[in-house]
Amino acid sequence: MKDGIKIVELKISEVTPFAGYPFRLTDDEEMYLLEESILTKGIQTPLKVRMLEKDRYEIIDGHRRFYAIRRIGLFDSVPAIVSRMHDDEAVIAFVKANISKDLSISQQAILYSMGYDALHEQVERTGKRPMKKGKRQALDYALADIVGKSRGDLHRYFRLKYVISEILDLVDTNVVALATAVEISFLSKEQQKWISGYMNENGAVLSYQIFAIRNYLKVNDKITRMEMIRILNENAPKDLSNRFQRIELTKPTLRKYFPPFYTKSQMENVIFKLLEEWHKENVEDD
- Centre a 10 Å sphere on the Cβ of residue 123 and count the other Cβ atoms it contains: 17
Q: What is the mean pLDDT of residues 230-238?
A: 89
pLDDT reported for residue 54? 82
**Do the Cβ atoms of 90 and 61 come closer than 8 Å?**
no
237: phi then psi, degrees, rounded to nearest 5: -65, 135
Spatial contact of 206 and 180, defined as CB atoms under 8 Å apart: yes
Distance CA 88, CA 263 (A): 83
DSSP secondary structure code for residue 11 in this structure: E
pLDDT at 133: 61
Q: Is 170 exposed, middle or buried (0-12, 13-18, 19+ CB in 10 A)?
A: buried
The DSSP-derived string for 103-135 is --HHHHHHHHHHHHHHHHHHHHHH---SSSS-H
Q: Is the pLDDT of residue 137 over 60?
A: yes
Confidence of residue 48 (pLDDT cuts 50, 70, 90): very high
The predicted model gives 34-46 an average pLDDT of: 91
* Cβ proximity of 10 and 52 under 8 Å: no
pLDDT at residue 242 in the model? 54
pLDDT single digits (tens) 151-200 = 889 999 999 999 999 999 999 999 999 999 999 999 999 999 999 999 99
**C-alpha span between 113 and 115 (Å, rounded):** 5
pTM greater than 0.75: no
Give the whole-number percent of the chain exceeding pLDDT 90: 55
Q: Which of 11-15, 43-47, 134-138 has the lowest mean pLDDT?
A: 134-138
Class level of CATH domain 8-84: alpha beta
SS3 content of the chain, % helix, strand, coil (to 5): 55, 10, 35
Mean pLDDT along residues 104-124: 91
Q: List the chain domain ranges.
A: 8-84, 86-162, 164-238
Give just the sign of the alpha carbon dihedral 276, 277, 278, 280: positive
pLDDT at position 232? 94
Q: How far apart are CA 156 and CA 221, in angstroms?
A: 25
In angstroms, how far is the first alpha carbon of the chain from the final one? 84
Mean pLDDT to the nearest integer, 84-100: 91
**pLDDT for 246 beyond 70:** no
Other CB atoms within 10 Å distance of the CB of residue 158: 16
Q: How would you class 181 by CB atoms within 10 Å of its CB: exposed for 0-12, middle for 13-18, buried for 19 or more?
A: buried
Residues 6+ apart with CB under 8 A from 280: none
The whole-chain average pLDDT of the chain stands at: 87
Query: Is residue 5 pLDDT above 80, yes or no?
Result: no
